[in-house]
Chains A and B, each alone.
Chain A
Amino acid sequence: MNLDTIKSELQANVPGCRLEIVLNPSPSAQHSLLVDAEHGFAVARFLRDASDLRFDFCSNVTGVDWPSKEISAKVKVKKIVDGVESEVEEIQKSSTQGYLEVVYHLYSQDLKSGPLPLRMRTQDRDRGVHLPSLTPIWRSAEFQEREVFDLFGVIFDGHPDLRRILMWDAFQDHPMRKDYVDPDDFEYEPTAHDQVLQRAGQHLSQAGGR
């Protein structure tokens, strides 16, 4: 089914949802649907239950980290240098807001259609990492959302059992983030030696101490 028709159908049935089609320029042409976090749950439920869509099979759930990027642009500015007005080239730096993205690959087993990649984005990478959990809709997301929480640090509101899954419970960072700093070559579980604890502390502060 065409992504445009899915989009218009969703807009008619889930009031207020903000949808965007993310085009995929590669030959696979798997274009995806970006939905705002607020209406993510309602949109997912509609996708599963609508009789002409029936996306009953959520195959793959994963996260993608998009750190903030610095964009530098050369701008010509008029400035007064030594009393004379002249045009000077200046580099203006601006940065885009980084975010974490969660991608759900949906299939329909009834209609044998798919994949429909459904995307949700967090506000930023520090505080606003909350997204609605889709585990109540597709049980298959249970372990995979835990994995995204573990490795990327996205907090899924409404997940029944959000714990670390691959890393151990005392681990503090999120290793799949692009700015993750590798631990030094020492046993990560700090033993109670001053020197080791000091180095462990250094590692954590480098990694942002999340």
Chain B
Amino acid sequence: MSAVTYPTPQSQLEPAIDRGEEQLLEISMGPQHPSTHGVFRMNVVLDGEVVVRLKPVFGYLHRNHEKIAENETYLGSMPYTDRLDYICSITNNWAYALAVEQLAGIQVPERAEYLRVITGELTRLQNHASLIGFLLQDMGSSGTPLMYAFREREKILDLFEELTGARMMCNYMRFGGCRVDMPAGWLDRAKKVVQEFPRFLDEYEQLLVGNEILMERTQGIGVLSRELAINAGMSGPMARASNVSYDIRKVDKYSIYDRFSFRVPLGEHGDVYDRYMMRFLEMRESLKILNDAMRDIPPGPIVDPKMRIRGFRPKPGEAYGRIESPKGELGFYLISDGSPNPYRYRVRPPSLINLTVLEDLCIGLNVADVVAILGSVDIVLGEVDR
């Protein structure tokens, strides 16, 4: 046994509100606060301008996604997974399809794997781009940076629309493959978008790397230690900014990610600045993957021909499938009892679990820093509340 001490949950150390003459101020940030990225509330206790306690309050968007999916066929909840993290619907589809494929032992054809990687990495690009836009917007650089980011995101959404018929609710994956193949000329247009993307990154990175105001506001703010990041289940860019070298694309080697060479960027400080730089560096790595995948994509079927769509009943058993979604580890846990609908259906939401440390990061800082920290966690309330 090692003698490592692990951090205790902060909420055990509740500060006394009553301090004699001085008074603490308890305010409710949200659910309609513009910086909370949706209907999310934080009960913040302030000592002057300094945060003493912070309790996140969830559930405003709760519709019990899991219960609905348990009363629905396996395929029937595929479009519904789009609505979890509505910024990146394709990776949600992918995680669900992966879990069902593990549960039923379905093989995915080569071309479909490439299509999944291409659309998945495009999703990562547009998620990270818009996230950085949101950060700058939250920190007061109103308008322009967000619009620049959305301009790039729009190009990718146009590609999605052409491929799947919908810009955000793509509903693209099927068990054992993808729903539709690329239309004529799509690959060339996608290649063009990918080739032009680095120019946007170079231009945009100047805003983040060299901007002194931004560095003042983000460096050394919201520092997350490596130990706590692992213990509190952080995943995705949030964990990697704290020097946790864990990328499920590398660890699980799901799909065909072992064929591409890409690096996993790591941060050293674990502050807000590092978390944003992670997104930049990851976009550059995604571009590498995209270039390789678009070059190598083979012809062939896009769905396993043995897969039966109607009357799909996996044999009794269970499976936990997970992927590296742009937000972190997105997992689906399914239990089948042999009937057409899952006996248990569980989503492991990276956004919710990444919020576990929100209080630890914010205590002792100003309210203005809370906004920056929350932005750097990258949450989407459709997934947090489910």
Contact = CB atoms under 8 A, between A and B. Distances in A.
Interface of A: 24-28, 30, 46, 49-51, 56-60, 62, 64, 103, 105, 109, 112, 115, 117, 135-144, 151, 160-161, 165-168, 175-176, 180
Interface stretch (B4-12, B188-196, B296-304): B4-12
20 contacts: A28-B318, A28-B320, A30-B320, A51-B2, A59-B331, A62-B333, A117-B320, A138-B232, A139-B6, A139-B7, A139-B232, A140-B232, A140-B353, A143-B355, A160-B12, A166-B58, A166-B59, A167-B62, A168-B59, A180-B67
Nearest to B360: A139
B244 interface: yes
Nearest to B343: A64
Nearest to B13: A160
A204 B329 CA distance: 37
B24 interface: no
Interface string B315-338: 111111110000001010101100
Given A140-B356, A166-B385, A167-B62, 15 more contacts: A24-B318, A26-B104, A27-B103, A28-B103, A50-B1, A60-B348, A103-B333, A109-B246, A135-B9, A137-B6, A139-B232, A140-B233, A143-B352, A143-B353, A160-B9
Contacts of A143: 352-353, 355-356
A46 B1 CA distance: 8
Interface in B57-103: 58-59, 62, 64, 66-67, 102-103
B344 A30 contact: no
Contacts of B246: 57, 109
A59 B322 contact: yes
Contacts of B34: none
B331 A28 contact: no
B66 A59 contact: no
Contact of A139 (B4, B233, B320, B352): B233
A59 B104 contact: no
Interface size for chain B: under 10, 10 to 19, 20 to 34, or 35 or more residues? Answer: 35 or more
A27 B64 contact: no
B230 A56 contact: yes
Given A59-B348, A143-B352, A166-B385, A26 B314 contact: yes
Interface string B242-265: 001010000100000000000000
B319 A30 contact: yes
Interface string B129-158: 000000000000000000000000000000
B67 A175 contact: yes
A57 B314 contact: no
B284 interface: no
Main secondary structure of the interface of B (DSSP, over half): mixed
B320 A60 contact: yes
Contacts, number: 135
B105 interface: yes
Contact of B231 (A27, A117, A140): A140
Given A59-B322, A176-B64, A139 B356 contact: yes
B346 interface: yes
Contacts of A165: 58-59
Contacts of B62: 166-167
Interface in B1-58: 1-2, 4, 6-9, 11-12, 58
Contacts of A105: 320, 331, 333, 348
Given A139-B233, A143-B356, A160-B9, A60 B317 contact: no
A57 B320 contact: no
Contacts of B1: 46, 49-51
B59 A139 contact: no
Contacts of A109: 230, 244, 246
A115 B252 CA distance: 10
A142 B103 contact: no
A161 B62 CA distance: 20
Contacts of B317: 24-28
Nearest to B322: A59
B228 interface: yes
Given A109-B244, A167-B59, A176-B66, A138 B318 contact: no
Contact of A26 (B2, B228, B232, B316): B316
Nearest to B355: A143
A26 B346 contact: no
B294 to A, nearest CB: 29
